[in-house]
Amino acid sequence: MLVIMFDQVAPEALGCYGNPVVKTPMINRLAREGVVFDAAYSNSPLCTPARYCMMTGQLPSATRGYDNAAYLASTIPTFAHYLRSAGYRTVLDGKMHFVGPDQLHGFEERRTTDIYPADFGWTPDWLQPDERVDWWFHNMDAVTQAGVAEVTNQLLFDDEVGHTGVRALHELARDEDERPWMLVVSFTHPHDPYVTRRQYWDAYDGVDIPMPRLNAGDVPLDPHTARLRHVSAMDEVEITDRDVRRARRAYYGNLTYLDEWTARLTSTLTGLGVADDTVVVLLADHGDMLGERGLWYKMNFFENSARIPLIVHSPTRFPAGRVAAPVSLVDVLPTLLELVGEGAPESVDPLPGQSLLDLCVDPSGAGETGQKREVFGEYMGEGAIAPIVMIRRGDLKFVHSPVDPDQLYDLAADPDERVNLAEDSDWAPHLKELRREVDWRWDLGAVHSDVLADQARRHLIGHSLRQGTVTPWEYNPPYDGRQLYMRNHLDLNEVERVSRFPRATGVPDGFLDPEAAPPVGPYDTAAGGI
């Protein structure tokens, strides 16, 4: 199993979801050959909570994965624990935004450190909603300074993640450990800042970059949007059309950058001869508003922020198709468990999600299971002052918070969420039913109290651990150059044997024939690659 994860991707920014100009031929190919989920959601549109949902199959209120400084207890099983128990070799390469001293959470190996802090420094404070913490809150520099750079913090990280991911595939293939494996390669792009390398910027020279369909003045200002505008200082600078186009152009450029890494990873599977025996899952943690409704980044349940791309690629197992039924990140864990099959341990806790394999087998979703699927979401990060919950049922999306007016949208008739039906008396029966569902599913008062108590504990502990000698929780990947390549305490013949894949079988048959045609990778020119 190869899980390729991106950070902050709005599906409509990808060609396979209808974007007419973005250049992502490899992702498009995976979509053509795989199962594409058109209504996949992040259960909590913020990095850490979303990843905890994916890893644990649980909503934030069950794990206390409330925000980007949320601690995930080591007693909560993740899909890495389940697969490892089932006999899989579990490897993490890249970002997962674990917070706390446990930086593995079931992964047997981790190949890189993370890009963001592992301590409690980013803990919000609901008791001071008007306070902006400038050293870690978003501001609009990412938009006003969008453009070109050869090196950024994000590019340095993702270059390492990509190279390490390819190397991990090589090592997993040639290692004499015969266990099946699950590798997660998790990039931080196209997460802001919206800066890309010159070659990817130039790939969009002369391209008419689509602008947002809705500006801030085109829709009423709801209270949570007003709080987000304050939290990210969106009203402190003027965002011009030029700023928007440049930010979106750099964002598209970084998607093309990720597409190339996706091609490297998948062509490596082909070159190693394991592509047909590998299930590839491509997804993101949450979306990006990209200027829609005058908003940027995420942290809300509007479609651009909450929807994610999700593709399952395994042409030898599943027919190509598209799934309209709503699904979400908490469905990933039960999906991986079902892929394992009989060797998978039973889940020790009730799971709110369902396996996606029935929809992979029948992408039309015509079966009873597809029609009954719903998505539930929770948001308790910065910009919230009380729990915000979401229900996606059929074409309806309902967003509720005890401190804000309800929001109800018919996504079939109103995909841009222009009209709040909660204010329409004709929709009162639907609203009543959905409110009843919220009351049955959540004790929002108890959740609110727990968030406040958890924030207070983390603020105290975070401040304490920064005094005197600081012992960081950030993961430090093991690296011993003394054991790499050829050393005189190693047997040269054994080093050469185990380093080669496929293994040599004799001379001259064990050597590749230089006259033979190379294997066709999934990113060759004929396949539409760049």
Whether the Cβ atoms of residue 83 and residue 101 lie closer than 8 Å to each other? no
> Which residues carry out catalysis?
47, 97
What pLDDT was estimated at residue 524?
45
Q: Name 158's Cβ contacts closer than 8 Å, sequence gap at least 6.
A: 94, 187, 188, 189, 257, 258, 261
Residue with tokens 């975070």: 462
Longest distance between any two alpha carbons in the chain, whole Å: 81
Amino acid in position 66: Y
CA distance 282 to 314: 11
Whether the Cβ atoms of residue 387 and residue 451 lie closer than 8 Å to each other? yes
Strands 280-284 and 195-196: unpaired
Query: Edge to edge, what strands does the sheet with 388-393 contain?
Result: 374-379, 388-393, 396-401, 404-410
> What digits encode the pLDDT tens for the residues 493-512?
787 777 777 777 654 444 44
pLDDT class of 479 with cuts at 50, 70, 90: confident
Q: Which residues pair with 313 in a beta bridge?
A: 280
Look at the pTM and tell me if it is higher than 0.75: yes
> What digits encode the pLDDT tens for the residues 376-403?
999 999 999 999 999 999 999 999 999 9
What pLDDT was estimated at residue 371?
59
CA distance 5 to 134: 28
Which spans in 213-240 are helix H?
223-231
Give 51's Cβ-side CA count (13 Å radius): 26
> What digits encode the pLDDT tens for the residues 427-474?
999 999 999 999 999 999 999 999 999 999 999 999 999 999 999 999
What pLDDT was estimated at residue 528?
39
For the cut 60, the answer to whether the pLDDT of residue 523 exceeds it is no
- Domains delineated in the chain: 2-370+379-387+442-465 (3.40.720.10)
For the cut 50, the answer to whether the pLDDT of residue 530 exceeds it is no
**Buried residues in 113-148 as b, exposed as e (16+ CB within 10 A):** ebbbbbbbbbbbebeeeeebeeeebbbbebbbebbb
CA distances to 22, 25, 126, 472 from 525, in Å: 18, 10, 53, 46
Residue 335 backbone zone (phi > 0: left; psi -120 to 50: alpha; other: beta) = alpha
> What DSSP string runs through 153-195?
HHHHHHHHHHHHHHHHHHHHHHSS--S-EEEEEEEEEE-SS-E
